[in-house]
A and B are shown apart, each in its own frame.
Chain A
Amino acid sequence: AQTVTQSQPEMSVQEAETVTLSCTYDTSESDYYLFWYKQPPSRQMILVIRQEAYKQQNATENRFSVNFQKAAKSFSLKISDSQLGDAAMYFCASNSNSGYALNFGKGTSLLVTP
């Protein structure tokens, strides 16, 4: 079984600044995948970024990047040049080739202030 932990229920960042959201996970799988999803007030779950565990290079998508520390089982999300539209609930999630369901953390609510 996989478990995902997000230790920050809420975070706040000023517009144009950088913020890092933390995520740790626990798994016995050797082949697994990690994701960050964004859920704005519209409640739509939007994929932000994903990382294959076998890849050492950290994934990047425009202003979003991850710091994947496999040995520490850590998968943090960095948002650069924060924008008002980044305000949302962010969920860290994982799955594997033997457990296809996504295992979600409890989420981090991100507030972006002008």
Chain B
Amino acid sequence: DAGVIQSPRHEVTEMGQEVTLRCKPISGHDYLFWYRQTMMRGLELLIYFNNNVPIDDSGMPEDRFSAKMPNASFSTLKIQPSEPRDSAVYFCASSPGISPPQFFGPGTRLTVL
């Protein structure tokens, strides 16, 4: 069984550039979550989807961040324009429901120079 797949694993970009992170959830999972991990703030939720519909985006830092889920097997997190303070590890996680646990992808380490 394939787990949650994220790409790229590492991304280095320059300030002002557009960055797109990708996620493929586990097949059959109806919930998809995007988290960000930094030393200062730890792990925090950015947004989550249920059946491809965004439910809670209150964690999205600002308008530079956007997320989409065009179908059940694919989601993107886009940062435009990127800034050095966006440097972090971005995790995607999926779950078949609310009470079951969330399963995490390997993360994307983003560095914005």
Point out residues on A near B: beta carbons under 8 Å.
33, 35, 37, 42-47, 50, 52, 91, 93, 95, 97, 100-102, 104-107
Given A50-B101, A97-B98, A104-B44, 18 more A-B residue pairs with CB atoms under 8 Å apart are: A35-B101, A42-B106, A43-B109, A44-B104, A47-B101, A47-B102, A52-B99, A91-B43, A97-B99, A100-B48, A100-B55, A101-B48, A101-B59, A102-B43, A102-B45, A102-B93, A104-B42, A105-B42
Interface size class of B (residues with CB under 8 A): 20 to 34
Point out residues on B near A: beta carbons under 8 Å.
31, 33, 35, 42-45, 48, 55-56, 59, 89, 91, 93, 98-99, 101-104, 106-107, 109
Cα–Cα, bound, A27→B107 (Å): 28
| Chain B contacts for A95, CB-based, 8 A | 98
Evaluate contact between A44 and B99: CB separation under 8 angstroms: no
Cα–Cα, bound, A48→B36 (Å): 20
Q: Distance (Å) between the CB of B38 and the closest chain A CB?
A: 12
Contact of B102 among A43, A44, A52, A102 (CB under 8 A): A102
| Chain A contacts for B59, CB-based, 8 A | 101
